[in-house]
Amino acid sequence: MHGATAELFETNSDPPSARQLFCKGAVLLRGFALSREREVLRAVGGVIRAAPLRRMITPGGLRMSVAMSNCGNLGWISDRLGYRYSPDDPQSGKPWPAMPKVFAQLARDAAASAGFADFAPDACLINRYEPGAKLSLHQDRDERDFSQPIVSVSLGLPATFLFGGLVRNDRQLRVPLFHGDVVVWGGPARMRYHGVLPLKDGTHPLLGACRINLTFRKAA
């Protein structure tokens, strides 16, 4: 057991998962999604067949290195006009695919396990990182209600998550995230800056040379 962080070992959840509180409001549930990985990956496949992953353009005109898609009532999009949520996939003009039940249940269970009861996400952003892809330091601020937490599921290759403070220049914690890990954050952590370092080369047995992240939010 590490001394500096409050780390407990659960006795009663699906997989025996280590739980780590890395700052007030942010909880890492190691391996929380592992027992559902096959159903979750099958559902990811269904969503991205209907709404293919694509690299969006930032308002500044740069193409993001991370490829994205969405499911649920709302999807996060970026283009020259800015960042926002949209009920439709701009590529097809059709609504985003419905959120698979296994997604909604996983997000709800993870949030509850972290102390946020009754989390009902209406948006799930799917991020695909190939080696070299990264996500620059940012805040999640396009949602309406900052009292609701965010649930983030990591699948495939490991990544280093940067977890900063409320000001862009605050020093950042580097948290390694592995296949099956779930991070829940809300409350005082909700507006913290964060990002993902460039993905390292590798091959994951189920996903190959990529990392998939599912980010669940209550956007409306």
- Residues near ligand MD6 (CB under 6 A): 127, 135, 140, 150, 152, 183, 185, 194, 196, 213, 215
Contact 99, 124 (CB under 8 A): yes
The verdict on 143 binding Fe ion (CB under 5 A) reads no
Considering the complex, what minimum distance in angstroms separates the CB of residue 10 from Fe ion? 26
- Amino acid of residue 44: V
Measured between alpha carbons, how far is 24 from 111 in angstroms, rounded to an integer? 15
The verdict on 140 binding Fe ion (CB under 5 A) reads yes
Residue 24: how many other CB atoms lie within 10 Å: 9
172-207 per-residue burial string, b: 16 or more CB within 10 A, e: under 16: beebebbbbbbbbbbeebbebbbebeebeeeebeeb
Which of Fe ion, ligand MD6, none does residue 196 bind (CB under 5 to 8 Å by kind)?
Answer: ligand MD6
Considering the complex, what minimum distance in angstroms separates the CB of residue 11 from ligand MD6? 27
Select the span of 11-19, 98-106, 137-145, 160-168 touching Fe ion (CB under 5 A): 137-145
Which of Fe ion, ligand MD6, none does residue 113 bind (CB under 5 to 8 Å by kind)?
Answer: none
Considering the complex, what minimum distance in angstroms separates the CB of residue 1 from ligand MD6? 25
Measured between alpha carbons, how far is 58 from 115 in angstroms, rounded to an integer? 34
Contacting positions for Fe ion (CB under 5 A): 140
